[in-house]
């Protein structure tokens, strides 16, 4: 089962209706709706006390309960599970009363089809999440914990501390876009968050992912602030996102959604205001659509409004692989510091997307043996080292990692615990936690993803002497080459790949040594040292600019 799947409990006593609904649910994918069916309320309540469901499809007229009472009894026993009520034409009044009493939606049995059902269930889940979890995401908690720890170390001015905890500007959108079936309009949540406006324009990617929330985007924007400050780039942090599973969208749907998202945030972005870039679930194509939409609105072509564009539209050479390149530059510095020869060393990489695949390629070129990689399908392990060039070909032509023949299939969890010299978590957040930190078996963790390690896990890894290159340092290659792209765009002057790579190396290596020195001088772990470095720069800028009015 994938994380995006929505677990449905169907409580319906009419076998014909139950079969029809199950049939519809089986038809739908991305997300899938694994469903359990019972035919009376007592059995439903019993099942819900033992298993977790995301939503319940509830017939109000059941053998052991009738009318609004059915809904009330459900609510009393399982208040957190959203309810979609099933109703016949003659029970409409009842369904409306259930919605007034807190049910998320009702569906007329005679009019249900797969699309309608899918949408109603998804929205029920979304609405409940939107209300309860907007700010309160695990990532935001993680970002706050890290920040507060670093703030304590630098004895940060309390006024500044309060100002930096939450983003300066947030925009929450509800975005409609047409599905390929013309009549079907989807409405999804979108966000653009600008954390600090003090340093220059704000900068940060846009992610399309089913778990995006305001808290998650705010955490990512905050990390962008520290990352840009650490690299000395003239930006504050921003981030954007749309809560949608892009793997379930056609290319045309993605284009309409991207354009609508851009036009909704058009007043807060711009080359001097806020410059989006790719992130999880978006790439050069989405940036081209964003740039085109923005340009159409202002009446002339503005390539500098986004970075990570295709090269033909003013993108920078080297941007696509820059994050992976940066990860490997940082691994090289860390290995040097630890006296580890990367030629012949071993590495494990979680994630084989934009960051993970480029990191694998560059490490492979250094002679490091890549023991395992993974993608959404799971992990692939080969004790002799995976043939990375060929595996990249396989992935580029749409193949899944686990379908590649030369290796054994392992789970993502197993992959993280493999013995190796270098572990690169380059997938999503919250992967190294208090639960598995004891079993992580490497010398260096280089965080290609944002927020892959929780605060509790951080302490365990540090105590065990594992050298961590934290996300805001390890994955800063992306935004650094984005900065180069923006500079080239504003000057209408293009640099060569050699120039890009040598400037990238200079900036990142300098940052690494500043952080390492600070961590030694002040006896700090590498993450706290990186954060302190970034926070100090932002604090200095805030204090010297003063407060308006």
Residues with a known catalytic role: 239
34's CB contacts (< 8 A; 6+ apart) are: 1, 5, 6, 7, 8
Give yes or no for a contact between 263 and 227, defined as CB atoms under 8 angstroms apart.
no
Among 82, 167, 205, 448, binds ligand GLU (CB under 6 A): 205
Q: Counting every residue, how long is the chain?
A: 549
Q: Which stretch binds ligand GLU (CB under 6 A): 96-104, 116-124, 201-209, 368-376?
A: 201-209
Among 450, 454, 533, 539, binds ligand GLU (CB under 6 A): 450
Give yes or no for a contact between 141 and 70, defined as CB atoms under 8 angstroms apart.
no
**Nearer CB in complex with ligand GLU: 71/486:** 486
Site size with ligand GLU, rule: CB under 6 A: 12
Least Å from the CB of residue 296 to ligand GLU: 22
Least Å from the CB of residue 308 to ligand GLU: 6
Residue 222 in the binding site for ligand GLU (CB under 6 A):
no
Residue 192 in the binding site for ligand GLU (CB under 6 A):
no
CA angle 201, 246, 32 (to 5 degrees): 145
Which of 548, 542, 350, 371 is closest to 446 using CA atoms? 350
Among 37, 109, 192, 203, binds ligand GLU (CB under 6 A): 203
Q: How far apart are CA 38 and CA 3, in angstroms?
A: 24
**Nearer CB in complex with ligand GLU: 240/379:** 240
Give yes or no for a contact between 426 and 327, defined as CB atoms under 8 angstroms apart.
yes
Residue 501 in the binding site for ligand GLU (CB under 6 A):
no
**Nearer CB in complex with ligand GLU: 104/475:** 475
**Which parts of 270-350 are beta strand (E)?**
274-278, 346-350
Q: Which stretch binds ligand GLU (CB under 6 A): 168-176, 197-205, 343-351, 378-386?
A: 197-205
**Nearer CB in complex with ligand GLU: 478/489:** 478
Residue 143 in the binding site for ligand GLU (CB under 6 A):
no
Q: How far apart are CA 188 and CA 242, in angstroms?
A: 7
Least Å from the CB of residue 66 to ligand GLU: 53
Which of 46, 48, 44 is closest to 59 using CA atoms? 44
| Site pattern 270..289 for ligand GLU (x: CB under 6 A) | -------x-x----------
Residue 214 in the binding site for ligand GLU (CB under 6 A):
no
Residue 369 in the binding site for ligand GLU (CB under 6 A):
no
Q: How far apart are CA 193 and CA 268, in angstroms?
A: 10
Residue 204 in the binding site for ligand GLU (CB under 6 A):
yes
**Nearer CB in complex with ligand GLU: 82/278:** 278
**At 172, which helix (H) or strand (E)?**
strand 169-178
Q: How far apart are CA 274 and CA 276, in angstroms?
A: 7
Q: How far apart are CA 379 and CA 431, in angstroms?
A: 14
Q: How far apart are CA 224 and CA 194, in angstroms?
A: 10
Give yes or no for a contact between 225 and 237, defined as CB atoms under 8 angstroms apart.
yes
Q: Which stretch binds ligand GLU (CB under 6 A): 50-58, 245-253, 394-402, 471-479?
A: 471-479
Q: Which stretch binds ligand GLU (CB under 6 A): 22-30, 58-66, 203-211, 364-372?
A: 203-211
Q: How far apart are CA 381 and CA 549, in angstroms?
A: 59
Least Å from the CB of residue 341 to ligand GLU: 29
Question: Which residues would be at the binding site for ligand GLU (CB under 6 A)?
Answer: 203-205, 277, 279, 307-308, 450, 475, 478-479, 482
């Amino acid at each position: 089962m994938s994380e995006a799947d929505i677990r449905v409990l169907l409580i319906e006593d009419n076998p014909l209706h139950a079969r029809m609904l199950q049939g519809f649910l089986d038809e739908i994918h991305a997300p899938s709706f694994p469903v359990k069916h019972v035919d009376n309320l007592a059995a439903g309540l019993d099942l819900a006390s033992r298993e977790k469901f995301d939503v319940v499809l509830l017939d109000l007229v059941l053998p052991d309960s009738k009318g609004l009472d059915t809904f009330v009894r459900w609510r009393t026993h399982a208040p957190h599970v959203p309810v979609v009520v099933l109703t016949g034409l003659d029970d409409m009044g009842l369904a409306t009363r259930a919605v007034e009493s807190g049910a998320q939606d009702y569906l007329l049995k005679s009019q249900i089809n797969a699309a309608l059902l899918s949408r109603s269930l998804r929205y029920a889940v979304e609405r409940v999440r939107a209300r309860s979890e907007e700010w309160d995401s695990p990532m935001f908690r993680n970002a706050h914990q890290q920040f507060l720890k670093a703030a304590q170390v630098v004895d940060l001015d309390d006024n500044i501390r309060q100002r930096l905890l939450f983003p300066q500007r947030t925009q929450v959108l509800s975005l409609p876009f047409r599905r390929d079936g013309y009549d079907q309009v989807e409405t999804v949540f979108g966000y653009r968050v600008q954390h600090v406006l003090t340093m220059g324009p704000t900068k940060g990617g846009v992610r399309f992912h089913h778990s995006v929330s305001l808290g998650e985007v705010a955490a990512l924007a905050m990390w962008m602030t520290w990352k840009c400050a650490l690299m000395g780039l003239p930006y504050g942090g921003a981030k954007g996102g749309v809560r949608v599973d892009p793997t379930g969208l056609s290319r045309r749907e993605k284009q309409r959604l991207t354009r609508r998202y851009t036009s909704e945030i058009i007043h807060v972005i711009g080359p001097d205001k806020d410059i989006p870039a790719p992130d999880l679930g978006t790439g050069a194509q989405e940036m081209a659509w964003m740039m085109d939409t923005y340009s159409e609105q202002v009446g002339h072509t503005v390539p500098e409004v986004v970075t990570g564009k295709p090269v033909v539209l003013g993108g920078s050479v080297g941007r696509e692989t820059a994050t992976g390149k940066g990860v490997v530059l940082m691994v090289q510095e860390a290995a040097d510091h630890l006296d580890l020869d990367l030629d012949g060393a071993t590495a494990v990489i979680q994630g084989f997307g934009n960051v993970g695949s480029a990191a694998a390629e560059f490490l492979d070129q250094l002679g490091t043996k890549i023991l395992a990689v993974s993608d959404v399908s799971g992990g692939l392990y080969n004790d002799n080292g995976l043939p990375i060039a060929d595996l990249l070909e396989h992935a580029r032509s749409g193949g899944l990692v686990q379908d590649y023949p030369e290796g054994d299939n392992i789970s993502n969890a197993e992959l993280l615990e493999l013995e190796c010299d270098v572990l690169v978590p380059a997938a999503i957040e919250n992967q190294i936690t208090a639960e598995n930190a004891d079993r992580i078996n490497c010398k260096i963790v280089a965080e290609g993803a944002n927020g892959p390690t929780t605060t509790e896990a951080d302490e365990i890894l540090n105590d065990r002497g594992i050298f961590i290159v934290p996300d805001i340092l390890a994955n800063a290659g992306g935004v650094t080459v984005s900065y180069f792209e923006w500079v080239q765009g504003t000057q209408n002057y293009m640099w060569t790949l050699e120039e890009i790579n040598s400037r990238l190396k200079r900036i990142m290596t300098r940052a690494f040594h500043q952080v390492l020195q600070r961590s030694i001088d002040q006896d700090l772990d590498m993450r706290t040292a990186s954060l302190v470095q970034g926070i100090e720069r932002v604090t200095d800028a805030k204090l010297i600019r003063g407060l308006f009015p």
